Amino acid sequence: MKVNIHRIDKALPLPKYETEGSFAFDFLAREITTIKPKEIGLVPGNVILKCPQNMALLILPRSSTPRKKSLVFPHSIGLIDQDYCGKEDEILIQVYNISEKDVVVERGERIAQGLFVQTQKIEFEEVEDLEHPSRGGFGSTDK
């Protein structure tokens, strides 16, 4: 499947899958970005892309980023909708610095990964009862 993509800085490579078995591709930081301790920062991801019909793009943290950079995603994952593809819609990677010192993300550094997922719009049909027994709340399967 082909996806339309626009690189802001053409000196940086297009995103790519690092291995034959990879399902996610890496986003590279477009510019040096400093994130202050205990603050949220936005790292420019260098691309604008158009999700194919019935697909969305998940922005996921790389597993090594918290350990190597002390950066985590404050929102767990990011979601790029099909209509987020205008001229100013560069994908920004939102990160939170969990350390006590400034963290610098270097230009060209792999900062996040993207995963395309199949989507489908649904219609809600309101009912009075779902006719299913309650399971309980968080951790209910641990009983």
Domains of the chain: 5-12+22-119 (2.70.40.10)
Label residue 38 left, alpha or beta by phi (over 0 means left) and psi (-120 to 50 means alpha).
left
Beta-carbon contacts of 17 under 8 Å, excluding residues fewer than 6 positions away, are 23, 24, 25
Q: How far apart are CA 48 and CA 27, in angstroms?
A: 11
Q: pLDDT tens digits, residue range 7-48?
A: 999 999 999 999 999 999 999 999 999 999 999 999 999 999
User: In this structure, how many other beta carbons lie within 10 angstroms of the beta carbon of residue 106?
Assistant: 11
pTM of the complete model: 0.87
Residue written as token pair 């019909």: 53
With H, G, I as helix, E, B as strand and everything else as coil, classify residue 142: helix
Encoding tokens for residue 11?
A: 């000196």
Q: pLDDT tens digits, residue range 70-128?
A: 999 999 899 999 999 999 999 999 999 999 999 999 999 999 999 999 999 999 999 99
